[in-house]
């Protein structure tokens, strides 16, 4: 299984654990699933935690 799929599954599991039922929960699951997919896709493309830290440091200046 690729990292984007694992990230999406983790985001959905967290969303299900956080809330049950209703349209709001559906939107939360969709949002966290997409965020997990995006992070996994970024890591698959060669992204590193160092890149995030450097971007954060540049934005603080």
**Segment 21-44, tens digit of pLDDT:** 767 777 777 788 788 878 877 777
d(CA 11, CA 36): 5
Is the pTM for the entire model greater than 0.85?
no
Mean pLDDT of the 6-16 span: 79
Tokens of 37: 């997919």
Judge whether residue 19 has pLDDT over 70: no
């Amino acid at each position: 299984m690729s990292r984007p799929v694992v990230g999406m599954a983790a985001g959905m599991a967290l969303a299900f654990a956080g809330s049950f039922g209703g349209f709001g929960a559906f939107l939360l699951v969709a949002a966290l699933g997409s965020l997990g997919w995006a992070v996994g896709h970024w890591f698959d493309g060669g992204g590193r935690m160092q890149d995030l830290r450097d971007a954060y440091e540049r934005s603080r200046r």
